[in-house]
């Protein structure tokens, strides 16, 4: 295992590190030793005398200011935590070094309102400087969605996915027309009535027979993409109010009936399992269920079903969906963990975790995401154990998995493939890039940071997590910038003091991080994944910092340039480090369900799907926060 000290203490200067007190004597001595005074004056006795005089004077001035400064640390951190406050503390030691040259200036004592007004003007000036017409950018994303859909409907209507180069469809997810259902709520959000009509009509006409007659499907994939898509479509077409207010699709009840029918088929994965942990697969036509070939379920898969099943219970009044799915999390609460972190496999026969492989990437990712999101969905209920598990896991991530790369200090999340006592691997899946968004959401609960600050809702830990979110989002974006195409590879490794794993760079020699990021030949593909733009969207909503839009726009342009297929659709790539990149001939459903939706929302205003009123399921289907009754 890595011998590095815990991240929050040593590795990265986080907000709380800025508040650490420094010994007065140490500060004076160090600053004098490193200042020009040492070089210029200590060679002569007059110089020595002057130094002593200065030290005495400094000590007096500092003593008379220390108490004010220290108390304002807590006030600012708790109440405002603004750029003003942050910069002051970030630069505190730097200002200390210059102390002898000019008297110290305490931070201006602005009221929270004044500070917010100042920040607003900073933000607004960024908006003007950026020079982007974000409405126009949003329309480009909408056009991309229409291009993606038109390829799918022309060549693959009714199949799960489009193969845009071969111009045909393929059923990679069990044959429930997954692209149609995954894309539908994006079309509703974008207000594209034709697509809503086509998708909705297909669902009304074909989905019931597919649900009743098809074969094997994966419980997790079907829940997040199809069940989640149907539930959001029901909500967005004003289903709870009994009418289809905004679209030309079928009656909203069609979506709910299909959702209920599908969930009734999926429930066997829970009820036929001998433990609280469901089997991974269901055979739809005979309602049987079985484990994956190796007998195991993925941790992320079994813990990423609850938002959808809970919402269905609340819509139908049938508690079984909640009862079965929440049993999983209640059981997981009782299992031993490693500082809140869990292995990526779990055995549905014994109900125990299997192996020691710990990572936040594939098979682990959305376990951490749903801990906080299911808690948010059920605010006011007795699910505080989920919030506790989330907090514990974030502490574990910071202590055990977060490190900085060399030479340029990108903050990344690595893995422990051999458990807590095995070696640290500096490998980070692109999938991990959901984490910045989740951390930001967990910190402010979806509330804009300024407002949360104003209302003193953020603890030191929240601020620290938000800072980590911002650092990780930058790293995710650099995974794009480091390649020739400007698109991220599926997996990156990070250089750690010469202990890189022997790969090579992403092909963009202009990237500042070309030596920090290592991309191995087998990991150079791009599947049009959403995680980075998802986090940019959440971070933009929460911080209102326009850089997240700028970054998202760059990524969108790279998708346009290298993944667009002229005849319709977009394609995954084989290798993001070469030009021109070869296309993989597959358009994943989440490109329409997630990637383009998050980009569209990123460039739009904050009124669409507010983060304190909705949680997005892991496939970007918005689910309203209902504050439903407790499950126990
Ligand atoms: C999506 O299906 C979901 O976001 C899931 O949680 C994992 N990632 C894929 C897209 O990359």
Which residue would you say has higher pLDDT here, 294 or 32?
294
Strand order in the sheet with 288-290: 216-218, 281-283, 288-290
618 C-beta closer than 6 A to ligand 1:
yes
Q: What is the mean pLDDT of residues 241-261?
A: 81
Q: What is the mean pLDDT of residues 349-368?
A: 98
Concerning whether 531 is annotated as a catalytic residue, the answer is: yes
As a three-state string, the secondary structure of 74-85 is: HHHHHHHCCHHH
Under the banding of pLDDT at 50, 70 and 90, the label for residue 145 is very high
Q: Average the pLDDT over each of 188-192, 293-297, 298-302, 376-380 and give the range with the smallest value.
A: 376-380
Q: How far apart are CA 79 and CA 544, in angstroms?
A: 18
- Calculate what percentage of the chain has a pLDDT beyond 90: 73
Q: Average the pLDDT over each of 26-40, 134-148, 495-509 and give the range with the smallest value.
A: 26-40
Q: What is the mean pLDDT of residues 23-40?
A: 33
Q: What's the pLDDT at 19?
A: 24
pLDDT tens digits for 278-314? Answer: 999 999 999 999 999 999 999 999 999 999 999 999 9
Q: How far apart are CA 365 and CA 385, in angstroms?
A: 19
Instruction: For residue 529, give the ligand 1 atom closest to its CA.
Output: 11
pLDDT tens digits for 67-126? Answer: 322 222 222 222 222 222 222 222 223 333 332 233 322 233 334 343 333 333 333 333
Short-list 242, 252, 246, CA closest to 203: 252
Concerning whether 221 is annotated as a catalytic residue, the answer is: yes
Concerning whether 490 is annotated as a catalytic residue, the answer is: yes
- Calculate what percentage of the chain has a pLDDT beyond 70: 76
Q: How far apart are CA 521 and CA 426, in angstroms?
A: 16
Short-list 141, 166, 251, 158, CA closest to 204: 251
pTM of the model: 0.80
**CA-derived radius of gyration, the chain:** 26
Q: What's the pLDDT at 528?
A: 98
Which entry of 490, 516, 544, 594 is annotated as an active-site residue? 490
Which entry of 15, 308, 365, 399 is annotated as an active-site residue? 365
425 C-beta closer than 6 A to ligand 1:
no
Q: What's the pLDDT at 217?
A: 98
Average pLDDT of the chain? 82
529 C-beta closer than 6 A to ligand 1:
yes
Q: What's the pLDDT at 424?
A: 98
Establish how many alpha carbons lie within 13 A of residue 614's alpha carbon, considering only the half-sphere containing its beta carbon: 18
pLDDT tens digits for 571-584? Answer: 999 999 999 999 99
Residues 6+ apart with CB under 8 A from 187: 145, 149, 195, 196, 199
Convert 232-269 to b/e letters by CB count within 10 Å (16 or more is b).
Answer: bbbbbbebeeeebeebebbebebbbbbbbebbebbbbb
pLDDT tens digits for 157-180? Answer: 999 999 999 999 999 999 999 999
Concerning whether 185 is annotated as a catalytic residue, the answer is: no
Q: Which residue puts its alpha carbon closest to atom 11 of ligand 1?
A: 529
Q: What is the mean pLDDT of residues 135-161?
A: 98
pLDDT tens digits for 494-550? Answer: 999 765 444 457 989 889 999 999 999 999 999 999 999 999 999 999 999 999 999
Q: What's the pLDDT at 86?
A: 28
What's the gap in Å between 178 CA and the centre of ligand 1?
14
CB 569 within 8 A of CB 152: yes
590 C-beta closer than 6 A to ligand 1:
yes
Q: Is the pLDDT of residue 381 over 70?
A: yes
Convert 286-308 to b/e letters by CB count within 10 Å (16 or more is b).
Answer: ebebbbeeeebbbbbbbbbbbbb
Q: What's the pLDDT at 243?
A: 52
530 C-beta closer than 6 A to ligand 1:
yes
Q: What's the pLDDT at 628?
A: 54
Short-list 220, 219, 221, 187, CA closest to 203: 187
Q: What's the pLDDT at 22?
A: 30
DSSP, residue by residue, 483-547: BSSS---SEEEE--TT---S-B--B-TT-TTTTTEEB-GGG--B----HHHHHHHHHHHHH--TH
Q: How far apart are CA 199 and CA 89, in angstroms?
A: 53
What's the gap in Å between 519 CA and the centre of ligand 1?
21
Under the banding of pLDDT at 50, 70 and 90, the label for residue 379 is confident
Q: What's the pLDDT at 130?
A: 63
């Amino acid at each position: 295992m890595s011998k590095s000290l815990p991240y929050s203490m040593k590795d990265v200067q986080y907000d709380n590190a800025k508040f650490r007190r420094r010994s007065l004597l140490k500060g004076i001595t160090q600053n004098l030793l490193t200042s020009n005074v040492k070089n210029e004056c200590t060679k002569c006795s007059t110089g020595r005398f002057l130094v002593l005089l200065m030290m005495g004077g400094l000590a007096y001035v500092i003593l008379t200011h220390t108490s004010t400064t220290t108390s304002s640390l807590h006030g600012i951190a708790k109440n405002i935590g603004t750029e003003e406050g942050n910069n002051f503390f970030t630069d505190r030691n730097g200002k200390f070094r210059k102390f002898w040259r000019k008297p110290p200036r305490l931070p201006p004592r602005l009221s929270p309102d004044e500070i917010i007004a100042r920040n607003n003007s900073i933000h607004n000036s960024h908006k003007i400087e950026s020079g982007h017409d974000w409405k126009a950018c949003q329309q480009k994303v909408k056009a991309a969605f229409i291009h993606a859909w038109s390829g799918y409907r022309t060549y693959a209507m009714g199949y799960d996915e489009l193969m845009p180069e071969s111009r045909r469809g393929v059923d990679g997810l069990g044959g429930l027309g997954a692209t149609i259902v995954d894309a539908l709520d994006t079309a509703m959000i974008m207000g594209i009535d034709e697509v809503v009509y086509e998708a909705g009509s297909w669902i009304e006409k074909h989905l019931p027979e597919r649900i009743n007659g098809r074969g094997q499907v994966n419980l997790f994939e079907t829940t997040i993409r199809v069940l989640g898509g149907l539930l959001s479509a029901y909500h967005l077409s004003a289903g709870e109010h009994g009418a289809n207010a905004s679209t030309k699709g079928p009656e909203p009840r069609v979506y709910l009936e299909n959702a209920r029918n599908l969930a009734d088929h999926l429930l066997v994965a829970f009820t036929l399992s001998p433990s609280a942990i469901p089997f991974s697969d269901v055979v739809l036509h005979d309602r049987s269920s079985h484990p994956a070939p190796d007998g195991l379920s993925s941790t992320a898969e079994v813990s990423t079903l609850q938002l959808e099943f809970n919402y269905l219970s609340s819509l139908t009044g049938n508690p079984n969906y909640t009862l079965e799915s929440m049993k999983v999390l209640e059981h997981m609460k009782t299992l031993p963990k490693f500082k809140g972190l869990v292995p990526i496999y779990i055995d549905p026969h014994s109900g125990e975790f299997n192996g020691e492989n710990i990572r936040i990437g594939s098979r682990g990712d959305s376990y951490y995401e749903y801990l906080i999101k299911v808690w948010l969905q059920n605010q006011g209920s007795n699910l505080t154990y989920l919030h506790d598990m989330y907090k514990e896991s974030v502490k574990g991530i910071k202590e055990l998995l977060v490190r900085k790369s060399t030479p340029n200090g990108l903050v990344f999340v690595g893995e422990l493939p051999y458990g807590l006592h095995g070696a640290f691997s500096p490998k980070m899946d692109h999938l991990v890039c959901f984490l910045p968004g989740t951390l930001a959401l967990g910190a402010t609960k979806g509330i804009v940071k300024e407002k949360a600050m104003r209302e003193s809702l953020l603890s030191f830990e929240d601020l620290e997590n938000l800072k980590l979110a911002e650092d990780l989002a930058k790293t995710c974006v650099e995974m794009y910038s480091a390649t020739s195409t400007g698109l991220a590879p599926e997996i990156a490794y990070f250089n750690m003091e010469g202990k890189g794993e022997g790969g090579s760079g992403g092909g963009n020699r202009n990237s500042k991080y070309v030596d920090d990021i290592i991309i191995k030949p087998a990991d150079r593909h791009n599947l049009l994944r959403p995680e980075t733009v998802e986090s940019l969207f959440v971070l933009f909503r929460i911080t209102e910092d326009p850089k997240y839009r700028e970054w998202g726009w760059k990524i969108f342009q790279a998708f346009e340039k290298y993944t667009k297929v002229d005849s319709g659709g977009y394609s995954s790539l084989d290798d993001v480090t070469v030009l021109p990149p070869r296309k993989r001939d597959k358009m994943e459903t989440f490109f329409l369900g997630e990637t383009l939706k998050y980009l569209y929302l990123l460039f739009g205003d904050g009124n669409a799907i507010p983060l304190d009123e909705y949680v997005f399921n892991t496939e970007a289907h918005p689910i309203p926060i209902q504050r439903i009754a407790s499950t126990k």
